[in-house]
Amino acid sequence: MKSILENINKIFENRVRLALMSILMVNDEAEFNALKQMLDLTDGNLAAHIATLERNHYVSVRKEYKGRKPSTTYSATPEGKRAFTEHLNALEKIINNIH
């Protein structure tokens, strides 16, 4: 009966990464500074959480110049989308179990 925890993804237990992924599910891409402002994070903190998502291949990065300014854009990978969906399904089960 530890099925309650099955499919709950450790990576997404953290609220910041949960938020990042949910933003990147709805928006195809998002820039570093936009995410930073949306979630009110220090840049170091944001960079660290993104790095965790990258390490797990849940997020991909694109670096470019927008005008004359460097810009880093993040996207959820197909693998990231799959993993996150599975996580949400696990949460949904818990919710349905109770409501």
Footprint on this chain of DNA (rule: CB under 7 A): 14-16, 31-33, 41-45, 47-52, 61, 63, 65, 67-72
Residues 6+ apart with CB under 8 A from 43: 32, 36
52, amino acid identity: T
What is the token pair recorded at 68? 């004359």
Of the candidate spans 43-51, 55-63, 67-75, 85-93, the one that interacts with a second copy by CB under 8 A turns out to be 85-93
Cα 27 from Cα 62, distance rounded (Å): 15
Interaction of residue 44 with a second copy, rule CB under 8 A: no
The answer to the question of residue 42 lying near a second copy (CB under 8 A) is no
Closest separation between CB of residue 22 and DNA, Å?
15
Q: Tokens representing 15? A: 């609220």
Q: Is 38 helix (H, G, I), strand (E, B) or coil?
A: helix
Binding test (CB under 8 A) with a second copy, winner from 31, 39, 56, 86: 39
78, 32 in Cβ contact below 8 A? no
- Which stretches of the chain bind a second copy, using CB under 8 A? 1-2, 4-5, 8, 10, 13-16, 18-19, 22-23, 25-26, 37-40, 88, 91-92, 94-95, 97-99
